[in-house]
C-alpha cells in the first residue's frame, strides 16, 4: 500500500451484543485526516492515528482471541430501576419499623 492509498482506507468496528438485538459501530475514515500536518517536531498525524487504533486492538484482542477476558457490562432498564426503588423503600420501612419497636421497648422499660 503506497502512501497515496493511506487516506483511501475506511475501518468499521462493529460490536454485537449476545442475547440482545443491539449492535454498536465505530467508523474510522482516514480521508478525514488528509492534509493535516504538524509543526515543531510534533508526532505525525498518521502515526497518532496508528497508536490510537493500536490501543483499541489491545483492549479488544483478548476478547476476540481467547474469549477468556470478558467485558464488564452493567445493564439496567426502567423496570429494573422501579424494582430496585421498591425494594429500597421496603428496606427503609422495615428499618423505620425496627426503630419504632426499639423506642417502644425502651419506653416500656423506663416506665417500669
- Helix and strand totals (H; E) in the chain: 2, 2
Which carries the bigger pLDDT value, residue 88 or residue 27? 88
Which carries the bigger pLDDT value, residue 89 or residue 75? 89
With bands split at pLDDT 50, 70 and 90, how would you rate the model's confidence at 104?
confident
Which carries the bigger pLDDT value, residue 61 or residue 40? 61
- State residue 9's pLDDT score: 82
Q: Which of 7-11, 41-45, 58-62 has the lowest mean pLDDT?
A: 41-45
Cell of 53: 487504533
Do the beta carbons of residue 33 and residue 56 sit within 8 Å?
no
- State residue 68's pLDDT score: 55
- State residue 39's pLDDT score: 59
- Domains of the chain by residue range: 3-65, 76-112
Do the beta carbons of residue 52 and residue 26 sit within 8 Å?
no
CA–CA distances in Å: residue 98 to residues 24, 30, 88, 89, 111 = 48, 64, 15, 14, 20
Amino acid at each position: 500500500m503506497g502512501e497515496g492509498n493511506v487516506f483511501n482506507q475506511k475501518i468499521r468496528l462493529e460490536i454485537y451484543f449476545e442475547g440482545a438485538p443491539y449492535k454498536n459501530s465505530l467508523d474510522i475514515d482516514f480521508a478525514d485526516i488528509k492534509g493535516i500536518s504538524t509543526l515543531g517536531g510534533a508526532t505525525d498525524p498518521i502515526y497518532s492515528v496508528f497508536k490510537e487504533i493500536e490501543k483499541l486492538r489491545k483492549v479488544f484482542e483478548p476478547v476476540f482471541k481467547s474469549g477468556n477476558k470478558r467485558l464488564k457490562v452493567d445493564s439496567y432498564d426502567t423496570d429494573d430501576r422501579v424494582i430496585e426503588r421498591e425494594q429500597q423503600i421496603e428496606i427503609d420501612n422495615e428499618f423505620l419499623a425496627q426503630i419504632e419497636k426499639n423506642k417502644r421497648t425502651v419506653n416500656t422499660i423506663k416506665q417500669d
